[in-house]
């Protein structure tokens, strides 16, 4: 990137060049129309996702959390507002943005390795390079020796690890995660949460995680956004500070202050009266 002239005609140092955050959401609104009925889902919602930051989003059931992700990733258009991706207006889907759902959606006729490589094939990555990347991710996620297994022979946790590897294989800098751990048993959930956070933080990726699990939200994220009933808005925001390694999910839950965050967020959700 070229630098503008500085004092005395010299070049401006690179450190002085502002770097746009990966994702800026400004005054997004979205309603669904069915015949003459208009259902407002997202009211007026704004936030910024910084580089290397993990944000968890919690809110009452049906408040529009998944709709928010679908708007951000370009699957549906907002009625109002704007989204900037690295400083540019977001138009359509971005190949450098990863999206992972609760269901693994693995193709049953492809092996674990072939499922992970699907994204590299679509992007035209040379096969050898794509396979090396896919195998390395499977190994990092504890699936060494299972690359040739088909989805039907894998446990739920192993399938979700394959889905995570598939999401990461093209090295996205922003990850949108829609309750990816919700269907897992508690032990497997903690292990995969830890794997995900480690890989995300090591790669300085930015993450927006939708979850209904308040403890998961607090243990994983740098910041938790609490959404209101629809038409949804940001009701509260918490900067999370825990005195432990942030990829250790057990230590996070045992950390000083953890229970206080959970109680306060629970109160903000007002689930009893939702």
Q: What is the pLDDT of residue 124?
A: 87
Q: How many CB atoms lie within 10 A of CB 260?
A: 10
CA distances from 12 to 1, 143, 201 (A): 11, 47, 30
**What pLDDT band is residue 158 in, cutting at 50, 70 and 90?**
very high
Chain segment 84-95, per-residue pLDDT in tens: 998 888 876 666
Q: How many CB atoms lie within 10 A of CB 154?
A: 18
Is residue 116, in this structure, part of any structural domain at all?
Answer: yes
Quick check: 27 and 81 in contact, CB under 8 A? yes
For residues 179 and 165, membership in a common domain is answered with: no
Cα pseudo-dihedral 162, 167, 173, 177, rounded to 10:
-100
Q: What is d(CA 166, CA 160) in angstroms, rounded to the nearest whole number? A: 10
**What pLDDT band is residue 7 in, cutting at 50, 70 and 90?**
very low
Is residue 3, in this structure, part of any structural domain at all?
Answer: no
* For range 176-182, the mean pLDDT: 91
For residues 178 and 88, membership in a common domain is answered with: yes
Range of the domain at 34: 19-96+173-274
For residues 41 and 136, membership in a common domain is answered with: no
Nearest CA-CA partner of 180 in 195, 248, 74, 170: 195
For residues 36 and 154, membership in a common domain is answered with: no
DSSP-assigned letters across all residues of 56-102 = EEE--TTSSHHHHHHHHTTSS--SEEEEEETTEE--S--TTEEEE-S
For residues 206 and 273, membership in a common domain is answered with: yes
For residues 90 and 133, membership in a common domain is answered with: no
Chain segment 184-240, per-residue pLDDT in tens: 889 989 998 999 999 899 989 999 999 999 999 999 999 999 999 989 999 999 999
Residue 6 has pLDDT above 50, yes or no: no
Q: How many CB atoms lie within 10 A of CB 107?
A: 12
For residues 180 and 268, membership in a common domain is answered with: yes
For residues 147 and 79, membership in a common domain is answered with: no
Nearest CA-CA partner of 146 in 131, 160, 133, 162: 162
Quick check: 51 and 23 in contact, CB under 8 A? no
DSSP helix/strand/coil, 168: helix
């Amino acid at each position: 990137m070229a630098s503008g002239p500085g004092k005395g005609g010299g070049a401006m140092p690179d450190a002085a060049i502002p770097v746009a955050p990966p994702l800026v959401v400004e005054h997004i609104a979205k309603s669904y129309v069915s015949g003459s009925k208009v259902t407002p889902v997202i009211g007026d919602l704004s936030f910024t996702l910084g580089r290397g930051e993990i944000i968890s989003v919690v809110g009452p059931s049906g408040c529009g959390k998944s709709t928010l992700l679908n708007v951000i990733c370009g699957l549906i258009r907002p009625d109002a507002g704007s989204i900037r991706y690295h400083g540019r207006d977001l138009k359509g889907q971005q190949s450098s943005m990863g999206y992972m759902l609760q269901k693994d959606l693995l193709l049953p006729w492809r092996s674990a390795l072939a499922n992970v490589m699907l994204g590299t094939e679509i992007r035209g990555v040379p096969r050898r390079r794509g396979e090396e990347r896919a195998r390395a991710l499977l190994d990092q996620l504890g699936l060494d020796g299972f690359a040739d297994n088909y989805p039907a022979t894998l446990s739920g946790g192993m399938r979700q690890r394959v889905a995570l590897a598939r999401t990461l294989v093209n090295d996205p800098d922003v990850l949108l995660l829609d309750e990816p751990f919700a269907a897992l048993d508690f032990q497997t959930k903690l292990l995969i949460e830890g794997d995900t956070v480690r890989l995300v933080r090591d790669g300085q990726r930015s993450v927006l995680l939708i979850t209904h699990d308040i403890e998961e939200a607090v243990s994983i994220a740098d910041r938790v956004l609490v959404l209101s009933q629809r038409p949804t808005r940001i009701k509260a925001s918490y900067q999370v500070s825990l005195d432990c390694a942030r990829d250790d999910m057990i230590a996070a839950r045992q950390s000083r202050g953890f229970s206080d965050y959970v109680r306060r967020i629970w109160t903000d959700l007002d689930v009893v009266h939702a």
